[in-house]
Amino acid sequence: MKNISFLFLFMSIAAGAQINRFFYEYKFIADSNNKEDIKKELMLLDIDQKGSNYYSRDKFVADSTSMAEVQKQIKGGGGNINISRRDNQGQVGYKVTKSYPDFKTYLFTRISMDQYKVKEDQKPEWKILPEKQKIGEYNAQKATTTYGGRDWIAWFSTDIPFQDGPYKFYGLPGLIVKLEDTTGSHVMTLVGNKKMAAPIVSEDMEIPGNVRIMGLGGKELEISKSQYKKLWKDYVNDPSKNMREMMMRNGGDNTRVSFKVKTQDGKEISDPNQVFREMEKRTKESLAKNNNPIEPDLVK
């Protein structure tokens, strides 16, 4: 019965504007020095006839709400745009897209205020093993691969006829219903799915080119993995470089750029030098606590 229902689903997707949304519980250890702190994020894998999108549900909701606020303020004609930081911004900031049938894969991510579309040049090479087990309600089979600096174990189910999976993983004879690295640092488990109407992206929800908001909107620059690695290394060595350059250009195009941050004790600072020092301090603290990325080879 499962095979029949999913075949009907696939035909429905091909015939109309519908997607199949798969929900994955993502458990990960961000700090290898604090393995007791296991973080959780609900990730979505949306599949249609053109390809798939993998992203954080919480980040999607937060970004959509913030974008609506920006649009409202822009239409109101105010000179300043103020965005309130929400309690739940999502812990996973990246998105991964794959196009069918060639499975061309891109990682959408950010370094400081710049957004990048990083083309993937490595295909997962799988070894399918005879071991089988039940994962949730699905009959699954084991496969292994080495990818991105980690050894991975996948469980895929031919009950779900999509050769796709979470993050950058694909190419097995069924959907990956569970994926984990051999250290147990990153585990993605399918917890549900539903068929739904494809989301409609409105051009009205785009931010004008002369408005730049950190963490929201903007066009991604397409780069290679080697280019991304270099940019990441530069960022780690000098976290405030991007913002210093923006400040130096201040006034050159009749646009005023200013930064304000609050210290841990709640004190607001606006002096550029103090702001940069505070941001460098925060970035280094964040990097120290997020030292166990899903793809270590990308940030070497």
Residues 138-195 have pLDDT tens digits of 999 999 999 999 999 999 999 999 999 999 999 999 999 999 999 999 999 999 999 9
pLDDT value for 40: 97
Is the distance from CB of 14 to CB of 32 less than 8 angstroms? no
- Please state, for a pLDDT cut of 90, what percent of the chain lies above it: 57
Structural domain harbouring 207: 2-225
pLDDT value for 270: 62
In a domain, 254, yes or no: no
Q: Enter the pTM of the model.
A: 0.79
Is the distance from CB of 261 to CB of 278 less than 8 angstroms? yes
In a domain, 262, yes or no: no
66 to each of 44, 53, 106, 209, how far by Cα in Å?
20, 21, 24, 17
pLDDT band (50, 70, 90) for residue 11: very low
pLDDT band (50, 70, 90) for residue 60: confident
In a domain, 205, yes or no: yes
pLDDT value for 206: 52
Q: Mutual orientation of helices 272-289 and 241-248 as an angle, nearest 10°?
A: 160
pLDDT band (50, 70, 90) for residue 290: very high
Burial 208-221 (b: 16+ CB within 10 A, else e): eeeeeeebbbbeee
pLDDT band (50, 70, 90) for residue 86: low
In a domain, 283, yes or no: no
- CATH number of the domain encompassing residue 36: 2.50.20
In a domain, 207, yes or no: yes
Domain count, the chain: 1
In a domain, 101, yes or no: yes
